[in-house]
Amino acid sequence: MKTNELTLLSTAIGSLPFVDATEACRVMTDILPIPAWPQLPRRNFKENMYAQYSEGFPGTVVDEAHERVWVDRTQDLGAGLECLYAAYLENDVDFGAISPEYAAGLHVFLKAAAGRPWLAVKGQVTGPISWGLTVTDQDKRAVLYDETLADAVAKHLRLKAAWQERELRKLCDSTIIFVDEPYMSAYGSAFFSLERELVVRLLTETMAGIQGLIGVHCCGNTDWSLLLDTPVHILNFDAYAYAEAVALYPEAVRAFLRRGGLLAWGIVPSLDEAAIWRESVESLTDRLVAAMKLLTGKGVSFDNLLAGCLVTPSCGLGGRSEGAALRALQLAVGVGAELRRRYGR
């Protein structure tokens, strides 16, 4: 599909605070024009964004009692890595299957959203940088600092994304898969020692398994030009808190919009429950327009920003109350509608 068909529509990042997958899917499909399958971290630890995509990775231990995911390198990982690479080379996407135990919301969504004329449906996968820097070995060393495991992480997540997209295409020909990279907010700090070239390579490898629209989500500040150097179609960021940071990259944004890219403005606050209740559609629309003007003041066309605009919450809503999560999604939809009303889109 063409990205301009999504102009001023809304979607979600992924996580919701519900434990009932059926209720969570009803929320996604009833409220959003572009529904996303819900991640349910309160349901159990296996739906944590790192545990959720660990299934099948060689040597992985999911310690639910201590809420930790790690790779036991005292095991012989050779056979497991051989199977992973064979699946990768053969493009065996079934190797990347995610079971209901790890993603109840996805499996319920595949039934609950069936038979409706969606413009697009959205999924998400944790990105290789965040996954590989959060998941450690038995000595608490991040697996991404091992060259062999780093390459395996990207290929593993590529197959997870490809399998998920194949299943979502049973609902709608047009799919969006976000690669979620919260850890990219640490890029350039003392806690992040990976070279730019490696980051781009691992992200590109993961994204290569996605045939539809590719999004990338980072809910903090980062080097946005780096993310735009990947094959991404949609850049999702926390516009409520970090609009000024994105405005530091007007040339990269302008080029991205010119090639048909979309900016998914996370204008609805997710991290502050009080702010969700305090803000309104009007106040958030005003805030979003003001954020856009930070870029128009640097030569980026306002019309192009509107044409390339999606609206989302700033991050996942799994840590909020159910009422606040509902309101955040409703606000995101309302801001898109208000922009269409104001500017005749």
Q: How far apart are CA 168 and CA 165, in angstroms?
A: 5
Q: What does the pLDDT read at residue 3?
A: 66
The packing angle between helices 281-296 and 322-343, to 10°, is: 60
Q: What does the pLDDT read at residue 194?
A: 86
User: By C-alpha distance, which of 249, 267, 238, 253 is closest to 308?
Assistant: 253
Q: Which residues contact 28 (CB under 8 A, 6 or more apart)?
A: 12, 16, 35, 36, 37, 38, 109, 113, 329
Other beta carbons within 10 angstroms of residue 62's beta carbon come to 17
Other beta carbons within 10 angstroms of residue 190's beta carbon come to 6
Helices (H), ranges, 209-343? 224-227, 239-246, 250-258, 273-278, 281-296, 302-307, 322-343
**Residue tagged 């809304």 (tokens):** 10
Q: Which two tokens stand for residue 156?
A: 């593993």
Q: What does the pLDDT read at residue 4?
A: 67
Could you read off the pLDDT of 225-267 as tens digits, one per residue?
999 999 999 999 999 999 999 999 999 999 999 999 999 999 9
Could you read off the pLDDT of 8-43 as tens digits, one per residue?
999 999 999 999 999 999 999 999 999 999 999 999
Q: How far apart are CA 274 and CA 47, in angstroms?
A: 26
Report the topology of domain 3-343: TIM Barrel (3.20.20)
Q: Which residues contact 101 (CB under 8 A, 6 or more apart)?
A: 46
Q: What does the pLDDT read at residue 307?
A: 95
Distances (CA, A) of 75 to 80, 85, 138, 289, 319: 10, 18, 10, 54, 35
Distances (CA, A) of 67 to 50, 51, 97, 160, 313: 10, 9, 22, 22, 26
| Chain centroid offset of residue 12 CA | 9
Verdict on whether the full-model pTM lies above 0.75:
yes
Beta strands 136-137 and 68-71 are parallel
Q: How far apart are CA 42 and CA 320, in angstroms?
A: 11
Under-70 pLDDT residues of the chain: 1-4, 190
Q: What does the pLDDT read at residue 188?
A: 75
Pair 54, 132: CB distance under 8 Å: no
What are residue 121's phi and psi, to 5 degrees? -125, 150
The packing angle between helices 104-112 and 147-168, to 10°, is: 20
Q: Which residue ranges make up each domain of the chain? A: 3-343
